[in-house]
Amino acid sequence: MPKKKPKDIIGKSMDAVLVDFRANWCGPCQTMDPIIEEVLDELGGKIKLLKLDIDKHPQMAQQFAVRSIPHYILFKKGKILWRKGGILPKRELEKALKGFI
């Protein structure tokens, strides 16, 4: 099975997809990793996660006007449902995402 392009995952997924715009050198991104995984686990896998390295996909970051990382955008069928940048407390992330499942 061919690896899906991020653009296809975002545009065609019937599930909500949380795109994590990040970079390997970004400390706050790494701080958020366990928080995101925990929240998505607690939401029963109803939201998929796509980690997008801005160094490897600069055009995607540019397309969605991501100016700083970490930056999170929740998509469903290509539409933006929610977006937020920076470090988020677990409760805030959970509350925001819960509204979309």
Q: Which of 26, 43, 50, 96 is catalytic?
A: 26
29 counts as catalytic: yes
Sheet holding 71-76, edge to edge: 47-53, 16-22, 71-76, 79-85
11 counts as catalytic: no
Q: Return d(Cα 97, Cα 70) in angstroms, integer.
A: 16
Q: Which of 29, 40, 73, 88 is catalytic?
A: 29
Residue 50 CB coordination number (10 Å): 16
Candidates 51, 92, 46, 57; CA nearest to 72 is: 51
Q: Whose structure tokens read 């109803």? A: 46
- Residues serving a catalytic function are 26, 29
